Amino acid sequence: MHESIHYEELKSVIAQYQGLIVSTRLNIDSTIIDAAKELRWIGRLGSGMEIIDTEYAASKSISCFSSPEGNCDAVAEHALGLVLSLFHRVVISSQQVKNGIWLREPNRGKELTGKTVGIIGYGHTGSRFAKLLAPFQVNVLAYDKYKKGFSSSLVREVELTEIFELSDVVSLHVPLTEATYHYADQQFFRALKRQPLFINTSRGKVVDTDALIVALDEGRISGAGIDVLENEDLASYTADENVRLHSLTDRDQVIVTPHIAGYTQEALFKMSDMLVQKLETAGML
């Protein structure tokens, strides 16, 4: 089976396989699962199980595994890189120099040191992000709906209201579920008090793109670092979707990257290794 396999191709060959490993391109829905007569397990390289109908798989006695431990370092590093690039105006000033423009005062940056960073979602990537922030002597606040009692020397567990009130940076590290779809909506952005940088390296549909654009227009956030979009197939964009995309990318204080936060060479190995370990422990290999 090759990397560029399409949905219909997968459906036509899946009946002969006992195991399936997927990344982000294909949805493993009930149709695929029904066609997979011999399938015993599905492995997800990375985090986020929204592309797999896990409930239907379980009803067919198919076990599902993910490996979020494998790319949490990569995602956390990318989130930190977005913060530093935006605070220090790295991308826009570099582009200006490429265009023969040398500006210093308009590109005066801000230091991360001493700021307050709010992390929403304190799982593998959120907690790793907090560890990377430690040398900057920042005040790290974190909220997790499903995890409690994790305060430490690195982070203080708080409610959302405190993150909204105190944060200079707000970073999302949550899975895409029915509960988190458009989690960052107009109400979310209007609750922010300090015009923070907004970072999303989780899933595109966690953020309402229209609400994000309004928040930038109204100055409710000072900038945004976005690694994921609601629709990442740019070739399929409608005219309205193209307008929304350019409304983000045309701004100096916005960085958009193509879903590469967890897409490092090291992460690919670590995710694969972790997945194999889990499959072996479960007796699937």
Amino acid at 241: E
3-state secondary structure of 59: helix
Say how far apart CA 196 and CA 223 lie, in whole Å.
Answer: 7
Catalytic residues: 203, 232, 259
Residues 226, 157, 150, 65, Cα dihedral to 10°: -30
Q: What is the DSSP string of 48-59?
A: --TTB-HHHHHH
Torsion angles phi and psi, residue 43, rounded to 5:
-110, 135
3-state secondary structure of 131: helix
